[in-house]
Amino acid sequence: MKLKLTLWFLGLLLKRAQRRKPRFREQLERVKRLDWGIATEDLATARYYRMTPQGIETGKGLPVDLDLELRFSDADTALKVLKKPTQQAFLDGMMAGKVRLVGDSADMTKLQKLLKYL
């Protein structure tokens, strides 16, 4: 339940940043479009985010056409990594086999640059 609420709140923060933070909008203009999602491996908890300069759409589930997916072994691992989303936290999770990146790592870099401005 905590993870679902956290992912929903992340969507709220993204929409708010797009409305209020010029640096976030600037970075989003450079990226053009980024469709990504976060889920547990069993897909019990999943949420997607479609980000364009015109707006941010979010919803439950994990569509198949996403550019990037972050898959976590369980909800506790997801919460632990998402609370401090540093590059090192993701790398440590990947090395331990608790975090899996589905998609292009360049998209992950774009996402991290965007999230800096939340």
What are 22-41's pLDDT values in tens digits?
Answer: 999 999 999 999 999 999 99
pLDDT at 17 over 90: yes
Distance separating alpha carbons of residues 101 and 116, to the nearest angstrom:
19
Helix (H) or strand (E) holding 51: strand 46-52
What average pLDDT does the structure give for the chain?
Answer: 93
pLDDT at 55 over 90: yes
**pLDDT higher at 1 or 72:** 72
Number of other CB atoms surrounding residue 33 within 10 Å? 11
What CATH number does residue 38 fall under?
3.30.1050.10
- Backbone φ and ψ of 25, nearest 5°: -60, -40
> What's the pTM value of the predicted model, to 2 decimals?
0.91
Which 3 state secondary structure label does DSSP give 66? coil
Distance separating alpha carbons of residues 45 and 3, to the nearest angstrom:
7
pLDDT at 66 over 90: yes
Q: What is the pLDDT of residue 88?
A: 87
What are 92-102's pLDDT values in tens digits?
Answer: 989 999 999 99
Number of other CB atoms surrounding residue 103 within 10 Å? 16
Q: What is the pLDDT of residue 112?
A: 86
* Structural domain total, the chain: 1
| pLDDT classification of 84: cutoffs 50, 70, 90 | confident
Q: What's the gap between Cα 71 and its chain centre?
A: 10
35: containing domain: 2-115
